[in-house]
Amino acid sequence: MKKQDMELIMYHLVEVKTKNQKKEFLTLPALLYKVWEEKNWIGPLYKDTRNFFSPKKNPLLKEGESNRWLLYDVNKHLIGRIAAFYWRKSQEEEDVPTGHFGFFECTEDRKGAEYLFKAASEWLSAKGIKAMKGPFHLGGPGFFTGSLTRGFFEPVFGMPYNFSFYNDLFIEYGFKEILKSETYKIPLGDSPNWQFISKKTTNLYHDLRYRIETYEPKNCEKFSKDFTYIFNKTWTSVPGMAPMTLKRAMNRCRRLRPILVKKTILFLYFEDEPIAFLIAVPDIHQVIKKFKGKYNLIELLWLWLLVKVFKRITTLSGLIYGIVPGYEKHNPEAVLLDSFKELLKLYNLKFNELILSRIGDFAPGMKKITEQLGGEIYHQYITYQLLFDEVEKKK
């Protein structure tokens, strides 16, 4: 029997179509991380994952497609999963037509991982696509993007967690690193570091052309417009970030409303033009890890009580920030963070630390400020790219 035929017997790959297969796609990660006793893994909510693959719930899929696969071993045990997707607008903006992969989970099985990568790449290739990036997520903006390579601690809300050997599986198959980013843990107690930052912002505070606004739920549409404008100016050139639309921004605003704290979401304006934002929310991963993927009325009520009433969460997750290019010389990062700290003090908000995500060489100003504030790297993530032609050459 040929080696290839033996491999076909050892593995069974299927597209996700049936109700039971969709359920297995959701529950596989919990099974894998339990077997490997990875206590720091926190599972995403099942409802979110289901919505990400629904064109009715996810606007990105209205201008693109997605597909999912499950991998079983010779004993019919589920050992892996992957998803592939693309949206047409992204194809127009890339030099090489590029799709994305994500939701990758697998046992430490190089050959099994190859079957999953091959399924995703061949499906995208049939659509005329020449490369794929990931791990990527169909949520956004930038939710659960990248593969964890350093700092295997509990992730903050919005950031992924994975086995360390996944990076070896990516590289062995032919993926290349295209982006590195970090999350920084910044202490929020009073310190000389914060006083130093405050002094840097004095001139801007006296310039009446600038103003700071904090998020108000009743003005969701207005802030969503400003967010969309800044986001598209800032992030669309960074791998793993899909262009934002007003509809997506408003949808995200409504979905996050139960956990939003008004004084931890800041927008900076220059002569009425939105030029920067910082969005931080309570790190609800401290709570939802107990939900085990469920998110119904009881979980929603419990989350609301802990965030808004009992205020038990002491860590803030800095989901994302944005600075319109051209304004960096005015130190908008310092203004956002200094104002953020002062608002916490003014409104007696009891948070001990801010874990700010997506810091990297692509954002030197924010990286410098976080380090000046005593921030330390907490997690490191890598986004990979696979060029299909290079894989064919290796064969």
DSSP 238-280: STT-PPP-HHHHHHHHHHHGGG--GGGEEEEEETTEEEEEEEE
| Token output for 267 | 């927008």
Cβ atoms of 173 and 387 closer than 8 Å: no
109-126 pLDDT, tens digit per residue, is: 999 999 999 999 999 999
Based on the domain organization, do 234 and 297 belong to the same domain? Answer: yes
Based on the domain organization, do 37 and 176 belong to the same domain? Answer: yes
| Dihedral (CA of 93, 97, 103, 109) sign | negative
Confidence bin at 1 (pLDDT 50/70/90): very low
Cβ atoms of 83 and 102 closer than 8 Å: yes
* Most confident of the following: 5-14, 113-122, 356-365: 113-122
Confidence bin at 4 (pLDDT 50/70/90): low
Based on the domain organization, do 33 and 168 belong to the same domain? Answer: yes
User: Tokens 């190089």 belong to which residue?
Assistant: 110
User: Please, which residues have CB within 8 angstroms of residue 62's CB and are 6 or more apart in sequence?
Assistant: 55
Strand partners, 354: 186, 316
- Angstrom CA distances, 247 to 57, 224, 225, stand at 11, 8, 9
Based on the domain organization, do 75 and 223 belong to the same domain? Answer: no
Cβ atoms of 331 and 175 closer than 8 Å: no
Q: Given a cut of 80, is residue 300 above it in pLDDT? A: no
The CATH number linked to 250 is: 3.40.630.30
pLDDT score at 190: 85
Q: Given a cut of 90, is residue 88 above it in pLDDT? A: no
How many structural domains compose the chain?
Answer: 2
pLDDT score at 260: 81
Q: Which domain covers residue 340, as residue numbers?
A: 185-379
Based on the domain organization, do 35 and 131 belong to the same domain? Answer: yes
pLDDT score at 5: 47
CA 93 – CA 96 distance, rounded (Å): 9
Based on the domain organization, do 229 and 296 belong to the same domain? Answer: yes
Based on the domain organization, do 172 and 249 belong to the same domain? Answer: no
CA dihedral 339, 340, 346, 351 (to 10 degrees): -160
Q: Given a cut of 70, is residue 200 above it in pLDDT? A: yes
Based on the domain organization, do 170 and 256 belong to the same domain? Answer: no
Confidence bin at 10 (pLDDT 50/70/90): confident
Confidence bin at 183 (pLDDT 50/70/90): very high
pLDDT score at 96: 87
pLDDT score at 305: 75
What does the pLDDT average to over 327-353? 90
Type of residue numbered 216: E
Based on the domain organization, do 153 and 236 belong to the same domain? Answer: no
Of 234, 245, 276, nearest in space to 360 by CA = 234
Based on the domain organization, do 105 and 172 belong to the same domain? Answer: yes
Based on the domain organization, do 219 and 168 belong to the same domain? Answer: no
pLDDT score at 184: 95
What does the pLDDT average to over 375-392? 90
User: Tokens 């490997």 belong to which residue?
Assistant: 36
pLDDT score at 236: 80
Measured in whole angstroms, how far is the alpha carbon of residue 69 from the centre of its chain?
Answer: 22
pLDDT score at 2: 45
Confidence bin at 174 (pLDDT 50/70/90): very high
Based on the domain organization, do 177 and 238 belong to the same domain? Answer: no
Q: Quick check: helix, strand or coil at residue 187?
A: strand
Contacts by 164-170 with C-beta closer than 8 Å and gap 24+?
165/108, 166/104, 166/106, 167/382, 169/106, 169/110, 169/113, 170/384
Q: Given a cut of 70, is residue 6 above it in pLDDT? A: no
pLDDT score at 85: 93
User: Please, which residues have CB within 8 angstroms of residue 24's CB and are 6 or more apart in sequence?
Assistant: 70, 78, 81
